Copies of this chain bind each other. A is one copy, B any other.
Amino acid sequence: MNSILSALAEPNRLHIVELLRDGPLTVGEIADRLGLHQPQASKHLRVLSEAGLVEMQPVANRRIYRLRPQPLMELDAWLASFRRIWEERFDRLDEYLLELQKSEQKHDDKP
């Protein structure tokens, strides 16, 4: 979960993932479209690969990279656990303020 997020946190890598959404690409093509030097493209792809976000298939001289759905599905599952917050307007602030107040009173109790 964490490697996924930190992989996506880098702007160029996020951009690569968005590029690959429309289909597989070669390292050179990725570097071109993002205005990166080839070594940086390779390095970012390595990080994405280690996070499982991307997989590679060699074809002669080139390496074709494509998206792997699994990590994105994990991210989706994680997000799902928050969905009730905005669907049910789940706030709990009032509830929490009451609890705070109670604990204050307890603190004041003198037996």
Contact = CB atoms under 8 A, between A and B. Distances in A.
Interface in A8-35: 8-9, 11, 14, 21-26
A5 B2 contact: no
B64 A85 contact: no
Interface size class of A (residues with CB under 8 A): 35 or more
How many copies of the shown chain assemble into the complex? 2
A6 interface: yes
Contact of A92 (B23, B81, B82, B93): B23
Interface of A: 1-2, 5-6, 8-9, 11, 14, 21-26, 57, 59, 62, 64, 66-67, 69, 72-73, 75-76, 79, 81-83, 85-86, 91-93, 95-97, 100
A79 B72 contact: yes
Contacts of A66: 91-93
15 contacts: A2-B9, A5-B9, A21-B82, A23-B95, A23-B96, A24-B92, A24-B93, A59-B97, A59-B100, A64-B96, A64-B97, A64-B100, A69-B82, A69-B86, A72-B86
